[in-house]
């Protein structure tokens, strides 16, 4: 994934941070168990299984059972982390996510692996671009998309201690760790990555790095772009969104997901109700052709240049 041509920072796989963090938490809390769908390897849980074989429940390729079993474990006082590829976890088990987790309010932690288009050439069946929209519609599930290894660690730690359902959206694409002094992770509170006055770029997950690179391009053209890491979609930091609308007058949302229903939809709903401004949504329009991750990102505007172009359109619209 090309974040910026000049970017030489060390890139890390967030799945490593997730697994290492979970192992440490499980050592201190015997209630923690994992439930997987024959995905120990792809979830990077080999070490967990070796340390805690009796707390690793592999139901096989049976996603509906996987979520149902996790709900039962939560009802019995355990803290289950369900780990599976996002495309299968959210699509195949939607009824169980709705009834057994969201409606029941059980303390289940859902970890969607290899999210977005991280599977690349495997195509639309393995892309998970609808999960934001689907799960956001369920309401009570806290929806988090960490942008780097540090944020993944903090999100896992928070989820383990939080009472209630959580969905963590992880990618398999390696990303740099953002260098922001005094960072803290608070669900429902956006992280200001860069101040700006002309336009606001709101992103999460892998796309935060693209938004920062786009802000650099815009700065070279004299445009001051604010960058917000909106790691939590549910609940949304409406204060940060409204402040961005009032103070910059134009917003661009960027997500490795559908361009409707997820982050872009949440931001558009917020601004339309409280402070209407132009909102350009950068994401995927729907089923995509088979191609490399890099080619699909570029083709659909998820690149620094594409995001900068969307920012210029948003700024032109606010002048109308």
Question: Look-up: residue for tokens 């990077």?
Answer: 44
CA gap 46, 89 in Å, rounded: 19
- Cβ distance 56 to 28 under 8 Å? no
Residue 122 neighbours by CB distance under 10 Å: 13
- The one catalytic residue among 20, 27, 30, 63: 63
- pLDDT of res. 289: 87
Cβ atoms of 82 and 109 within 8 Å: the answer is yes
Digits of tens for pLDDT over the chain (320 positions)? Answer: 334 434 556 888 899 999 999 999 999 999 999 999 999 998 999 999 999 999 999 999 999 999 999 999 999 999 999 999 999 999 999 999 999 999 999 999 999 999 999 999 999 999 999 999 999 999 899 999 999 999 999 999 999 999 999 999 999 889 999 988 889 999 999 999 999 999 999 999 999 999 999 999 999 999 999 999 999 999 999 999 999 999 999 999 999 999 999 999 999 999 999 999 999 999 999 998 889 999 999 999 999 999 999 999 999 998 75
Token pair for 136: 């956001």
Helix (H, G, I), strand (E, B) or coil at 6: coil
Q: By three-state DSSP, how is residue 289 classified?
A: coil
Locate 196 and state its tokens.
């700006």
Q: Of 146, 157, 243, 249, which is closest to residue 203 (Cα–Cα)?
A: 146
Residue 4 has a pLDDT of 40
Structure tokens at 292: 């490399």
Q: How far apart are CA 223 and CA 309, in angstroms?
A: 12
Distance CA 25, CA 19 (A): 10
Q: How far apart (Å, rounded) are the C-alpha atoms in residues 316 and 320?
A: 7
154 is catalytic: no
Q: Which residues contact 42 (CB under 8 A, 6 or more apart)?
A: 85, 113, 114
The residue among 316, 284, 285 whose CA lies nearest residue 302 is 284
Number of CB atoms found within 10 A of residue 28's CB: 8
Give me the pLDDT at residue 221, please. Answer: 97
Burial-class residue 180 by CB neighbours within 10 Å (0-12, 13-18, 19+): middle
Residue 319 confidence (pLDDT): 72
Helical pair 263-274 and 238-248, crossing angle rounded to 10 deg: 70
Nearest to 160 by CA among 51, 23, 13: 23
Rg (the chain; Cα; Å): 19
**Helices (H) then strands (E): counts for the chain:** 12, 14
Q: What pLDDT is attached to residue 3?
A: 40
What's the pLDDT at 320? 52
Three-state SS annotation for 224-243: CEEEEECCEEECCCHHHHHH
């Amino acid at each position: 994934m090309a974040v910026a041509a000049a970017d030489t920072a060390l890139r890390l796989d967030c799945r490593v941070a997730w697994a290492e963090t979970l192992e440490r938490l499980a050592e201190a809390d015997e209630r923690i168990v994992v439930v997987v769908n024959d995905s120990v390897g792809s979830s990077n849980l080999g070490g967990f299984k070796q340390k805690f074989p009796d707390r690793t429940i592999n139901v096989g390729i049976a996603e509906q059972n996987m979520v149902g079993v996790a709900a039962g474990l939560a009802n019995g006082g355990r803290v289950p982390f369900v780990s599976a590829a996002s495309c299968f976890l959210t699509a195949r088990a939607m009824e169980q996510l709705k009834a057994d987790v969201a409606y029941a309010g059980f303390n289940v932690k859902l970890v969607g692996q290899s999210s977005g288009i991280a599977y690349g050439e495997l195509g639309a069946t393995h892309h998970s671009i609808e999960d934001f929209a689907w799960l956001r519609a369920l309401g009570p599930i806290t929806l988090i998309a960490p942008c780097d290894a540090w944020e993944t660690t903090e999100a896992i730690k928070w989820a383990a201690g939080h009472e209630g359902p959580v969905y963590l959206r992880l990618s398999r694409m390696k990303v740099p760790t953002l260098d922001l002094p005094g960072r803290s992770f608070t669900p429902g509170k956006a992280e200001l990555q860069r101040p700006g006055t002309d336009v606001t770029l709101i992103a999460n997950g892998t796309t935060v790095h693209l938004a920062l690179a786009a802000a650099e391009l815009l700065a070279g053209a004299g445009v001051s772009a604010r960058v917000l890491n909106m790691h939590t979609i549910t609940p949304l930091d409406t204060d940060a969104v409204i402040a961005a609308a009032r103070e910059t007058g134009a917003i661009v949302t960027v997500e490795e997901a559908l361009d409707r229903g997820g982050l872009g939809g949440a931001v558009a709903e917020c601004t339309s109700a409280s402070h209407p401004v132009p909102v350009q949504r950068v994401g995927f329009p729907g089923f995509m052709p088979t191609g490399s991750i890099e080619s699909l990102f570029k083709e659909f505007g998820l690149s620094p240049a594409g995001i900068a172009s969307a920012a210029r359109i948003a700024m032109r619209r606010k002048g109308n």
